[in-house]
Structure 1
Amino acid sequence: MAELIDLSKVPVPDIIQPLSFEQRFAALKQILVGIDQGYQAVLALESDPITKLLQVFAYREMHLVAQINDATRGNILASSTGNNLIALGSRYDLAPLVIQAGDATAVPPIPEIIEDEPSFKRRVQMAFDGLNTAGSIDGYVFFALGADGRVADANAVSPEPCDMVVTVLSIEGDGVASADLLTKVRARFGLSTDGLSQSNTPSKVRPQGDRVTIQSAEIIRYNVEAQLQILPGPDAQVVLAAANKALAIYQKEQRRLGAAHTRSGIYRALHQPGVSNVKLISPLEDIAVLTHQAAFCSASDVTIGEG
């Protein structure tokens, strides 16, 4: 599968201007003095009304530039969020997938849960793969990701000509795709509920002649056990909470097919400010996975060791 651009590494466009009140105020004073040198002495007085007016103009100009910056960021995939991102995705006929439909009349009310922004941005990046009519690997992945909001990741391989195997990783539980989720993905490719035959509804995304198999990811489970030595001074419980939070973030970032959970990655997550040393008891080696597999941490036991 083609490697997508890492949006976090996209440079800030030159059109984004820095916000500096002092620079804009100085520029306005220079303009006024250029018109009439007599204002030089007036502008030396902070209390003069003209000085105050220029300060207001500088603040207003800075505010307008900030609005332009925000509007620019809202039209760039790497920095777009919220409704701006949804509007950007609509250019490609894409909208965030609904994971849980909301119901305000239920007791208690059921909130709507939609696809998270990183997942939606990934689908927007892959939008042109959906235009491929030759059944490319990326095309299969794109349509699998868009089949249901519960799809965390997908992978496609062709073990034999005209045979395609699509692996689905779920956002739910340990990542094993439920029967209902597999049914949704199969329906996207025009397959029956069990995936053994074509459905009555012709597929608009699966090339005719391709035999497609939809399967759940195989989950490789492991546990984390570690002891932290805390430096004198910091609150040990605060440091421990920060380490556990960083570990959870690392594991979430690695929740992908074929993504290894490495000891070095776990060390890096646990070694937060205030930690002098990390004794990683488990896992004993990197959790390596294949492209149809995903690693999942079943339990984490991070404690404060004796220093």
Structure 2
Amino acid sequence: MSMIDLKSLPPPAVVEELDFEALVTVHKQDLLQRQPSAANVLALPSEPLVKQVEAFAYREMLLRGRVNDAARANLLAFATGTDLDHKGAFYNLARMPGEADDRYRNRIQLRIAALAGNGTAEQYRLLALSASANVRDANLTSGLNNGAPGTVNVVLWLIDASQAQATSAAVLAAMNAPNARPLGVSVTVAVARPVALNVTATLWREASAPADIVTKITASFMASLATYASLGRSVPLSWVTAQLQQPGIARVEFPIAGQPASNTVLAADEYAVAGAITLTDGGVA
């Protein structure tokens, strides 16, 4: 069962877009229906009656904004802080000490998906993330371990690799706790492996591009890869090219074959990290 990417959802219709000028117009029209003789003075910006209409419109906008905030607080994609805590409490899932909203929101989604019962992939991921704050993500590899059926292999993507032993022990203990896994299922825990992505490219600038554009693209590429990477997610050459072909770059060339490959395929227990990233300024194209 794949989880919905909350960031990909369209804006909720319950959240209204606010327009101060539109509210002022509505209030003026309402006033004219009640008092047509006020038409002349409503055209004067300095008229006290106009200022009062604007004050009413501003107060209404504040009220509507508060309604929008309340609506967002009831949606998992937008709830933050204590509002998100209450969303988690509904599913009997408390926030871990110091846990950021995004990570807690992800665990709530996993908790919902895991309601189908123990043994689902979401259940095992939830157990791993809840066992230690050092777990960035978790994945399940083949259910066969050395040919033995009934085995679940949980792979951990750690934040601090130096704590691998302690984190793996904590996760394994959580997996083997009462009511945590189906009877007769053996669980193993392993640490995911980073795979270095090496990129050697020449970037040719457009005449209008700033001289330091290649330096900036190098920094942005590192940040984009850190966001893009996930367990088992391959990195195609087309993605790399798209990150380098920024506004101001006329063309991108890869002078060394295989850096990067046409598609850097990763296994379920691997994740991409930046390796040797060498971007050369080829000058103006």
Q: TM-score, normalised by structure 1?
A: 0.82
Cα root mean square deviation, aligned: 2.2
SS in 1 for 2:195: strand
- Decide whether aligned partners of structure 1 residues 228 and 172 sit closer, same or farther in structure 2, where only a CA change above 3 A counts: farther
1:125 and 2:109 are equivalent in the alignment: yes
State the shift of 1:242 in Å: 3.6
Which residue number in structure 2 is paired with residue 213 of structure 1?
188
Unaligned 5+ segments in structure 1 are: 99-113, 191-201
Which residue number in structure 1 is paired with residue 155 of structure 2?
167
* Residue 168 (structure 2) aligned to one of 175, 179, 182: 182
Which residue number in structure 1 is paired with residue 90 of structure 2?
91
Q: How many residues align?
A: 277
Q: Identity across aligned pairs (percent)?
A: 30
Which residue number in structure 2 is paired with residue 63 of structure 1?
62
SS in 1 for 2:230: coil
State the shift of 1:90 in Å: 3.2
* Residue 238 (structure 2) aligned to one of 253, 264, 275: 264
SS in 1 for 2:65: helix
State the shift of 1:96 in Å: 4.2
Partner amino acid, structure 1, of 2:185? D
* Residue 134 (structure 2) aligned to one of 150, 153, 173: 150
Query: What do the CA deviations read for 1:127-159 (whole angstroms, capped 9, x no partner)?
Result: 123434441222112211222122122122422
1:27 and 2:30 are equivalent in the alignment: no
By relative contact order (CA 8 Å, sep 6+), the higher-ranking structure is 2
State the shift of 1:82 in Å: 4.0
Partner amino acid, structure 2, of 1:252? A
Question: Residues 222 and 296 of structure 1 are in contact (CA less than 8 Å); yes or no, is this contact kept in structure 2?
Answer: yes
Partner amino acid, structure 2, of 1:218? R
SS in 2 for 1:227: strand
Unaligned 5+ segments in structure 2 are: none
Query: What do the CA deviations read for 1:33-87 (whole angstroms, capped 9, x no partner)?
Result: 1112112222122222111100111112112222222232232222233443344
Q: Distance in 2 between matches of 1:78 and 1:262?
A: 29
- Decide whether aligned partners of structure 1 residues 263 and 212 sit closer, same or farther in structure 2, where only a CA change above 3 A counts: same
Q: TM-score, normalised by structure 2?
A: 0.87
Partner amino acid, structure 2, of 1:243? I
Question: Residues 125 and 138 of structure 2 are in contact (CA less than 8 Å); yes or no, is this contact kept in structure 1?
Answer: yes
Question: Residues 189 and 204 of structure 1 are in contact (CA less than 8 Å); yes or no, is this contact kept in structure 2?
Answer: no
